[in-house]
């Protein structure tokens, strides 16, 4: 049986502010917030600096990347540039 304590510890910050996140403004905004939080937790679990990853990933021209290289932008595949 696998242990999920590492994930739960990383998500503790989200749980603490849970009442504040009830009012994201819309369902779409709540989904985007969830995606961002998940990405930041994945960075933390993979010892990737979230600020550097997000800055570099968003500055890429994804339209110019071959489709088979898009997965290199994910935090768990990230190599510091």
49 falls in which pLDDT band (50, 70, 90)?
A: very high
Predicted pLDDT of residue 72: 86
Predicted pLDDT of residue 3: 72
Q: E strands within the chain?
A: none
The three-state DSSP-derived secondary structure of 57-76 is HHHCCHHHCCHHHHHHHCHH
Largest CA distance in the chain: 42
Q: Domain locations in the chain?
A: 5-77
> Which of 74, 70, 52 has its CA nearest to residue 61?
70
pLDDT in tens, 5-41: 877 777 776 666 666 667 778 888 888 888 888 888 8
pLDDT above 80: residue 79: no
73 falls in which pLDDT band (50, 70, 90)?
A: confident
Alpha-carbon span 58 to 35, nearest angstrom: 14
Predicted pLDDT of residue 20: 65
Cβ 75 vs Cβ 39: under 8 Å: yes
């Amino acid at each position: 049986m696998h242990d999920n304590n590492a994930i739960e510890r990383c998500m503790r910050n989200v749980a603490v502010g849970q009442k504040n996140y009830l009012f994201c403004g819309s369902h779409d905004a709540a989904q985007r917030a969830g995606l961002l939080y998940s990405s930041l937790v994945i960075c933390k679990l993979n010892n990737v600096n979230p600020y550097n990853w997000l800055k570099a990933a968003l500055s890429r021209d994804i339209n110019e990347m071959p489709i088979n290289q898009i997965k290199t932008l994910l935090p768990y595949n990230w190599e510091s540039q």
